[in-house]
Amino acid sequence: MMWWNGWDGMGWWMLFGAIFWVCIIVIIAWGIKKLSERTGAGGGSSALDIARERYAKGEISHEEFEKIKKNLS
């Protein structure tokens, strides 16, 4: 039973410290992943997204948008 007293003192704090740092690392990795998805690190917007934006801004007509959509699918 003598070894248990040592674990009660410092061992639990070491365990909680390790869990804390693992959680911090996971949160940072998750944040980096979310930021890279938001900024479009995978190559930018798709052609259909660009066409939707142009249609919403009024740069292209409905007919032009439908042609683009048909050509892309």
Clarify whether residues 35 and 65 are in a common domain.
no
Clarify whether residues 35 and 54 are in a common domain.
no
Clarify whether residues 38 and 57 are in a common domain.
no
Give me the number of domains the chain comprises: 2
How do residues 16-31 score in pLDDT, each as one tens digit? 999 999 999 999 999 9
Clarify whether residues 33 and 55 are in a common domain.
no
Clarify whether residues 48 and 34 are in a common domain.
no
How do residues 31-41 score in pLDDT, each as one tens digit? 999 888 776 54
Clarify whether residues 51 and 31 are in a common domain.
no
Clarify whether residues 25 and 51 are in a common domain.
no
- Residue 43: what are its φ and ψ, rounded to 5°? 125, 10
Q: What is the pTM of this model?
A: 0.45
Domain containing residue 60: 44-73
The token duo for 24 is 């911090």
How do residues 31-68 score in pLDDT, each as one tens digit? 999 888 776 545 557 888 899 999 999 999 999 999 99
HEC letters along 9-67:
HHHHHHHHHHHHHHHHHHHHHHHHHHHHHHCCCCCCCCHHHHHHHHHHHCCCCHHHHHH
